[in-house]
Structure 1
Amino acid sequence: MPGARHLLDETRVGVLLMDFSVPVCVQEVESSVQALEVLGGVPDPTSSSLIEGSWQLIFTTRPGTASPIQRTFVGVDSFRIFQEVYLRTDDPRVVNVVRFSESVGDLKVEAEATIEDGKGILFRFDRAAFTFKFLPFKVPYPVPFRLLGDEAKGWLDTTYLSHAGNIRISRGNKGTTFVLQKSPDARQILLSTISAGIGVEEVIDDFISSQNGAEVDLDILVGEWQLLWGSQTEGESWSSVASAGLKDFQIIKECGQLNNSVSPFPGVSLNARGNICKTGNNNTFSVSMKEAAIQVGVVQFPLDAKGEFVMEILYIDNKIRISRLNQHMLVHLRIANAT
């Protein structure tokens, strides 16, 4: 069974990679990956039933030597990537899946698979097709796999498979490292949905309803936050956007001071300052913006952006904050603790 060190590094990998829209520290991820590989997981992972099923790609390196197939089916940042592994069938296969969205469909690229040893899988891509939700038939992907020769072949070593069967680390023949996860947790589903930009409000509602609400004090709000997603703000002036904190960054200090910053254009920023305080025993806070200015280079121009707002904290942890500000729903990512 995994010890505390395994769980610590698995958790670290998950936290580092939980947001797909914000760059991660590659060195930290690789350090955790190497730690897990040294500690070891399930022995002979290709012989374990835990390797079977659908895995979501949450991190990968992309060396310049990657093959055209790898660059096409792994280097797609704007879509969700899955890998299906089926080794205990009459037709063993590894299937790479590019999911454009739940409403559009998938591209599946299939490969014949052969178990080489306890860690290695040999594969050869042999077919691919699009499956669109709006079409009753599959559309073949025009790749002449037979003509690609060795470019259609490769191998994949599973260097770590967690005892819980939810984290897998694999290394490919082109030097690429893959970190994959089964059954991503609610936060990862939320953040990957925000990255895709489709169906966000529904996922937020599901996420909030699945969490146990706790009373929120000002202490837990203290820090520097980056806005990941906000409900539509069309038709609102830049001054009102800056005042409400509906774009870019927000800093909340222990004294209750609040700073919002918006950068609509390079070299131009709108900054608004005010205060935040709790209004009662529930998770509602009063936000009062006092002053604002537009800054162009080193020159500042005062701006009339005063406002009174009501902020309701719907969910918060050490990384994510979901709130409702008047009629707007907002999701923030904590960048750092405020000083």
Structure 2
Amino acid sequence: MYTIGQISKAVQISVDALRHYDEIGLYKPHYVDTISRYRYYSDEQVKDLLAISEWRQYGFGLEMIKRLLLNQEKEKLQPLYQDQLDDLYAQRKAINQSIQLLEEQLKRLEDVKMTACNKTVLIIDDSAFMRMMLRDILEKEGFNVVGDAADGETGVTMYEQLRPDIVIVDIKMPGIHGIEAAKRIMQVDPNADIVMCSAHAQIMTILQCIQAGVRGFVAKPFMASSFIAEILNQDRELNAATVERIMADARARNFNMRLSQNQIDILFVACTEKGTIVDEELLALWSATEQLDEGKEEEFVVS
């Protein structure tokens, strides 16, 4: 007979683990002294405990080890081992994908910090909670939020005073709405960089925002990463004639569905087209906005 300390050294399983195995019913000692409560293990149990130690190295969980203890014949172990190997390969693939995503995210964060450095931002939104959330997201990414306004008129006045690099504007607000505020800001400064952030993400509304001079649109609710990506997307050169053609076609077809963020991106890309946009391109655009499933974008941080 072996004490729990002796068996622990022999099979390279900690005393705490052996006690845990006993408590959960995975593997009971051969004998427990009723007075001292010491656990004792038999010679025959050493083989099983060595197998448990080996299976743990293979990545088997405790529930699976219970099954393995009952199926130690070679012909029964082989398919169980193969299933575990297949599962480990799948986990390795998922881990490699996670590593790649994390590496890309770290690089993006570095790029964001460099791009956002010294960029000033004005937030115009009637929701105090939203202004707080946007400020928090932006400042964490290295932007300098120089002010916020709870209505369009105040926002326009603050823009005149602060002249920020970027303006985040909601649409539905007391007094003048966000699209009118954007128009007035563009009158003050034709080079103003305006991004709308609104739950009103219908096609016609977005096109009206573009006509007002807006160069980006974030649909609420949104993910912080998508929001920052849209803020930093400064390469768009929107074509006024193309926007008018798309708007006319959408109106003629009575298209005014709400778009996801991915669908909004497709619409913005279409609005950058130079020259005359043809019917086939319009059909492709509407097909994309109808069929595209944004996927399972979870972790929404605001609404």
Larger Rg: 2
TM-score by shorter chain over 0.5: no
* Bigger RCO of structures 1 and 2 (CA < 8 A, at least 6 apart): 1
Short-chain TM bin: under 0.3
Which structure: greater strand fraction?
Answer: 1
Scaled by the length of structure 2, the TM-score of the pair is 0.22
Structure whose residues are more often helix by fraction = 2
| TM-score, with structure 1 as normaliser | 0.21
